[in-house]
Amino acid sequence: MTPCRAVLLFVAIATLAISQPLARAQSSSGSGTTNQSQTQTQTQPAQAAPARSSSNPPVTFTYHQPTEKEKLKNYAFDSFGPYAIFGSLVIAGIQQAKTPSATPHNSGIPPDWGQGWDAYGTRVGSDFGIHLITQTARYSLARVFREDTIYYRCECSGILPRLKHALISTVTARRGEDGHRVFSFPAIAAPYAGTEAAVLLWYPGADSLRPRGYGPMDGFRMGNYNLLLQGGMNLALEFIWGGPHTFLARHHVPIISGATGSSSN
């Protein structure tokens, strides 16, 4: 699967995951037109529902808008924390081991940087630079769009609901005092900003190994991978460690809990 198709599938799944609760709500609202026999048949199960709800009353969550200090702390962790460093080390190793189809020898990506520890260090610095620009662009644009970029762990239990929560959070953000979820332009655009900056600022230009050099289309292709990597980072925040701002997970949004199924115990 090409990275572009993977990204399209990624966004489509997120859209479907968000739209499912709305479809269920509309379906339940339309069920009031059933005939009398159906109503009588469903009377007893409906009477049993209040007993269950009284024994397990729903929990109401209040959204907490992060302070500027909390935003700065979150930005520092996402940009310079262990996930950023570990990710740069791993991706650089993959790039160094991979053989570009345009070159007959194992010279890594980009091929101009060659092999050896010096080349590996160059790739680590490049990948860390892409990540830093990505996070800086995401937080800067989020400030313009008045969005909350902090990742909130899901309250739900089970692997699949938590996977869905991490997936949705990759392309969405919270906005407003109620923290309602919206598709986030900063979250989607920032990964491409990081890779476009790399190919235009420090990636090799035209040479014998790559006559055309690296250009905007290469940056877009790399941005597809970078967007998927942001999803991987969210999975780490969800399942491994949420970072020093994990205490914010106690603040949740009813709209978000309904979309992710996290309101269930």
d(CA 249, CA 237): 11
Helix-strand-coil split of the chain, %, nearest 5: 65, 5, 30
The model carries a pTM of: 0.70
Q: Is residue 82 part of a domain?
A: yes
CA distances in angstroms from 122 to 31, 89, 130, 155, 256, listed in the order given? 62, 11, 12, 40, 41
Residue 40 to residue 137: CA distance in whole angstroms: 58
pLDDT digits (tens, 9 = 90+) for 227-257: 999 999 999 999 998 776 554 444 434 433 3
In a domain, 171, yes or no: yes
Inside any domain, residue 34: no
Across residues 129-151, what is the average pLDDT?
Answer: 95
Residues contacting residue 262 through CB under 8 Å, at least 6 positions apart: 154, 155, 156, 161, 165, 252, 256
Q: Is residue 33 part of a domain?
A: no
Determine the average pLDDT of the residues in 164-191: 93
Q: Across residues 96-104, what is the average pLDDT?
A: 67
The confidence score (pLDDT) of residue 52 equals 44
- Domain contains 5: no
Q: Which secondary structure element, helix H or strand E, spans residue 174, and what is its range?
A: strand 172-175
The stretches of 98-158 forming alpha helices (DSSP H) are 117-145
Give 71 or 15, the one with higher predicted confidence.
71
Which letter does DSSP use for residue 60 in this model? P
Q: Which of 36-45, 58-67, 128-137, 224-233 has the lowest mean pLDDT?
A: 36-45
Asked if residues 188 and 227 have their Cβ atoms less than 8 Å apart, the reply is yes
**Does a structural domain hold residue 107?**
yes
The pLDDT assigned to 36 comes to 40
**In-domain check, residue 52:** no
Look at residue 57 and tell me whether its pLDDT is greater than 70. Answer: no
CA atoms within 13 A on the CB side of 152: 27
Percent of the chain's residues with pLDDT above 70:
62
Structural domain span for residue 110? 68-260
- Residue 249 falls within a domain, yes or no? yes
Average predicted confidence (pLDDT) for the chain: 75
Q: Provide the number of structural domains found in the chain.
A: 1
What's residue 76's pLDDT?
94
